[in-house]
Chains A and B, each alone.
Chain A
Amino acid sequence: DAGVIQSPRHEVTEMGQEVTLRCKPISGHDYLFWYRQTMMRGLELLIYFNNNVPIDDSGMPEDRFSAKMPNASFSTLKIQPSEPRDSAVYFCASRRDRDEQFFGPGTRLTVL
């Protein structure tokens, strides 16, 4: 398996624009997680899904953020409108049951 795949790897956009981050989890994994990492706040869990159903979105900063998982092999994290304070590295991760969680390489987002 290729591991968790994220795209794009880097994204630079202007304030107010819509940003969509994509994630393909490892096949057979039933959990998918979205994290955000910044120097100031460290690694934060934004939302996670179990069997494509959002379970806990309490980490989503505000209504500008939304996440979907239309099927077992694809998830998106959308920010609309984006703001400079959203600049961070966004990680997607997946796992099966309570086993090892595999992380994608991350998307580095810069909002100007």
Chain B
Amino acid sequence: AQSVTQPDIHITVSEGASLELRCNYSYGATPYLFWYVQSPGQGLQLLLKYFSGDTLVQGIKGFEAEFKRSQSSFNLRKPSVHWSDAAEYFCAVVREKLTFGTGTRLTIIP
């Protein structure tokens, strides 16, 4: 069965600092991987996705993620966070249904 683990429930970073959110997946075949962001009171918005090809994928809002098959990871990164990046971030894998991780809440401090 497919599963997604986000080991960090809550992360706090300073504005301007770099960010890495961790995601590990368990899946029997080549996974389709996604990162979604949810701002307070809003729905989920896709940041980026990986299906195949280049293992470093670029997304919206300056985010990128790297697929590492050997580590079963798909970590999300941003070189310099902005206060508007404060939100909940979900990693997900899809076979037929989309399986979400439990989410990582990102807090930005000035």
Contacts and interface: CB of A to CB of B under 8 A. Distances in A.
**Mutual binders A and B:** yes
Interface in A12-46: 31, 33, 42-43, 45
Given A98-B32, A105-B42, A56 B97 contact: yes
Interface stretch (B11-19, B43-51, B63-71, B72-80): B43-51
A88 B43 CA distance: 13
Chain A interface, >50% SS class: strand
Interface in B24-67: 32, 34, 36, 42-46, 49, 51
* Chain B binding surface, main DSSP class: strand
A75 B49 CA distance: 27
B42 to A, nearest CB: 7
A55 B98 CA distance: 13
Contacts of B100: 42-43
A80 interface: no
Contact of B43 (A45, A91, A100): A91
B5 interface: no
B103 to A, nearest CB: 6
Contacts, number: 43
Contacts of B44: 91, 93, 103
B95 A98 contact: yes
A50 B98 CA distance: 13
A33 B98 contact: yes
Interface of A: 31, 33, 42-43, 45, 48, 50, 55-56, 91, 93, 95, 98, 100-106
Given A50-B96, A91-B43, A101-B94, 5 more contacts: A43-B103, A93-B44, A100-B46, A101-B92, A103-B36
22 contacts: A31-B96, A33-B97, A42-B100, A42-B103, A43-B90, A45-B97, A45-B98, A50-B96, A55-B97, A56-B97, A91-B43, A91-B44, A98-B94, A98-B95, A98-B96, A100-B34, A101-B94, A102-B46, A103-B36, A103-B43, A104-B43, A106-B43
